[in-house]
Amino acid sequence: MTHSSKDQTEENWLREYYDNVEEPIKTKEETWSHIVSQTGIKKQSRPSWIKQKGLIAVAILALFAVGSLFMKEDQIQAFSWFTKYFVTTEGEVTQISEIQGDPPAVKKQLLPTEADIHVRNSTKSHEVSTFAEAQEITEVDLSRPDYMPEDLQLERVTIYYDQDKTRKVQSLYQNEQERQLVIIQKPASQGLGYSKIVDNQDTEIETLTIQGEKATLLTYKDGWLQLRWKSELNQWVVEGSYSEEQIVEVAQSIR
């Protein structure tokens, strides 16, 4: 199957799915009917005080469900602002999330029209061997580290594009034994947010400060380290099979 026929098949499938999507619940009555149909609630004979408590509990649940549908735009923005950076541990996993900048405005029309459905081309990439060559083919002001472990040399710089805009720039350093260190620079124009879930049994998590900004260091049991932080203009990742001191020193030296 060619790319064009594959894209057309996907687009036809999306249009068919769009035409048959269920209407969202809009009113309190519809919400209550939905709760009853999903939970199988039936009329039962029980003391009046139990009924009252049950009605209160159901009313709270229904109010929460309906209220979330009609939440004001400024309330949504306030919630998003408070979730800019957090590390949440639950059981054997930890979720690391970061959002920077003002949240996008809530659109009045939540669903796209049928005319908006289309298949977008995959992200393209281009590899070069020097920063000078990379700078010539990207609009992003590239930064590089002043410090690098002595045995490492720049192997290649890969620029990833999304609709002709640079999505991220990945620099790979490697020694003769193929030991690697990677630096990723993601511009603010492509959004500064990520969410990552890690296994606490296989990963150590540490919070550091890099260039005055909060950073998260992940140390995996295979010896691979990954350091993440954000600056005003970029989101950064420095990772490799080097010591914490070396990874941090590389990150602190990026200019």
Mean pLDDT of all residues in 184-197: 76
Look at the block and give the residue holding tokens 């923005």.
77
As a whole number of angstroms, the longest Cα–Cα distance in the chain is 80
- CA atoms of 77 and 66, how far apart (whole Å): 19
Distance CA(77)–CA(176), nearest Å, equals 50
Q: Give per-residue pLDDT as tens, 105-137.
A: 544 555 666 666 655 556 799 999 999 999 999
> What CATH architecture is 80-102+112-252?
3-Layer(aba) Sandwich (3.40)
Distance CA 162, CA 22 (A): 32
The tokens for 114 are 């049928």
Q: What is the pLDDT of residue 87?
A: 63
- What is the number of helices (H) and of strands (E) in the chain? 6, 11
Mean pLDDT to the nearest integer, 21-48: 57
The per-residue pLDDT for 119 is: 58
Q: Which sequence spans correspond to the domains of the chain?
A: 3-70, 80-102+112-252
Alpha carbon of residue 81 to chain centroid: 15
State the pLDDT at residue 169: 97
User: Which stretch of DSSP H or E encloses residue 213?
Assistant: strand 213-220
Which tokens hold the place of 68? 């979330």
pTM above 0.75, yes or no: no
Instruction: Decide if pLDDT at 48 tops 70.
Output: no
Residues 199, 177: Cα–Cα separation, whole Å: 29
Instruction: Return d(Cα 76, Cα 105) in angstroms, integer.
Output: 9
Residue 145 is given by DSSP the state B
Q: Work out the number of other CB atoms within 10 angstroms of the CB of residue 199.
A: 11
Determine which of 65-69, 73-77, 216-220, 248-252 has the lowest per-residue pLDDT on average. 73-77
Specify whether the CB–CB gap between 190 and 168 falls below 8 A: yes
Torsion angle, alpha carbons of 35, 36, 42, 45, to 10 = 50
Q: What pLDDT is stored for residue 121 in this prediction?
A: 56
